[in-house]
Amino acid sequence: MKIFVVNAGSSSLKYQLIDMDNEEVLAKGLCERIGVTGCISHKAADGRKYEAETPMPTHSEAFEAVVFAMTKSEAKVIDSFDEISAIGHRIVQGGAIFKGSCLVNDKVLSDISDLGAMAPLHNPAHVLAIKACIKTFGEKIPQVVVFDTSFHQTMPPKAYMYALPYEYYEKYQVRKYGAHGTSHHFVSDRVAVLENKDKKDIKIITCHLGNGCSITAIKDGVCVDTSMGFTPLDGFMMGTRSGTIDPSALTYIAEKDNLSAADINTICNKKSGMLGISGVSNDNRDIEKAGKEGNERALLATSMQRYQILKFVGQYIAAMNGVDAIAFTGGIGENDPGLRQYVCENLGFLNVKIDGELNKLRGQEVKISTADSGVDVFVIPTNEELAIARDTLDIVSKL
Ligand code: ADP
């Protein structure tokens, strides 16, 4: 059974075709500049490539380009889209409405659209993409939506409520929703498999550290707390996002520089974090290089990032009254031995010990803690597309 996984933004569309018989990726690709000009870059598993510039005024033309790439181009992998059993879509914001993945219908589409106020850059684009999919592939291929937020819906109110006047929760549903749920779900499931234990019996902390970063506490098999909040700005510093800061600092800056709420939003989301502190880049590789060359602000950014991550891990150890396993994932989590070493060394009070040689490995699934470590520590490359495909398969196989 083949599942087509779609991750659509307003001007881009990432996709993968996965053969669920062996969970192998048959092809993957990216359409960019939708609504502006349009280009596709497509790659088959055997290395064949197809790249083209083609007009994509809307997502519909982008999907038509994908159909061509998959079925007719020099990198074709199937004869027809009839071979595809279902389509799985990544959706950023499911609010409190979506507690799990589900089939697309008119009500689901309008709910995702209504939640757009909380994810203006993402949800409207997802709706456009789903509608374009229906237009391109017809109604006969079932479509499933998988939410970044649904894994966090098990959080108790004490974790997801903000101590604001209660009316803002009632009127505007302002609360913590979290993000990266598909990744935290995937990685925590892998931890349980690697531990050879039922997930319900282990306390897990998953650290998804990429351009966006979040840390999640998983107890009794479910998420009990997570660092991202009402939006993916909350938590700790990221590539260009500030993470949590005293809101008074923002109102103070806004008054001083006569800035609007939208300006503040841009500053916190796009100009802060590793970029804002280092002044070098939002990318950890550039910051590491600058740090090695003696750039003080790059070194400060690195030390802040590590300290903030450590504190979130510490919070969640307290929240769960212990931890059995910690997992690192995402571009940084999978590739930054120095960060992992820093976090683990500072959990020495729990007798956390890692193997220096194993910790040097990058981008592969490995247990980096020693046999006598008080907590098991893993590096687990995330695979959100596979997680979406699995959920999609699960839902359509019950039809
Ligand atoms: P996104 O959130 O966009 O999916 P990624 O998970 O790809 O982001 O993570 C991007 C971050 O991972 C960047 O800061 C980048 O520097 C870091 N990263 C990726 N590969 C490496 C590597 N080989 N070594 C160090 N850092 C890396």
Boundaries of every domain in the chain: 2-147, 197-384
Terminal CA-CA length for the chain:
14
Q: Which residue has the tokens 């507690």?
A: 99
Q: Tell me the pLDDT tens digit for each residue of 25-78.
A: 999 999 999 999 999 999 999 999 999 999 999 999 999 999 999 999 999 999
Inform me whether the pLDDT recorded for 310 exceeds 90.
Answer: yes
Q: What's the 305 CA to ligand 1 centre distance in angstroms?
A: 14
Atom of ligand 1 nearest to the CA of 286: 16
Atom of ligand 1 nearest to the CA of 282: 14
Number of Cβ within 10 Å of residue 156's Cβ equals 9
Q: Tell me the pLDDT tens digit for each residue of 88-146.
A: 999 999 999 999 999 999 999 999 999 998 888 899 999 999 999 999 888 889 999 99
Domain 2-147 shares a fold with domain 197-384:
yes
Architecture of domain 197-384 in this structure: 2-Layer Sandwich (3.30)
SS3 content of the chain, % helix, strand, coil (to 5): 45, 20, 35
Catalytic residue among 148, 225, 234, 376: 148
Pick the residue whose CA is nearest to atom 3 on ligand 1. 211
Q: What's the 109 CA to ligand 1 centre distance in angstroms?
A: 32
Atom of ligand 1 nearest to the CA of 213: 2
Q: Rounded distance, CA 142 to CA 184, Å?
A: 26
Q: Tell me the pLDDT tens digit for each residue of 200-229.
A: 999 999 999 999 999 999 999 999 999 999
Q: What is the mean pLDDT of residues 280-292?
A: 97
Q: What is the pLDDT of residue 121?
A: 83
Q: Is 189 a catalytic residue?
A: no
Q: Tell me the pLDDT tens digit for each residue of 226-244.
A: 999 999 999 999 999 999 9
Q: What's the 283 CA to ligand 1 centre distance in angstroms?
A: 7
Q: How many helices (H) and strands (E) does the chain have?
A: 15, 14
Q: What's the 11 CA to ligand 1 centre distance in angstroms?
A: 22
pTM: 0.94
Architecture of domain 2-147 in this structure: 2-Layer Sandwich (3.30)
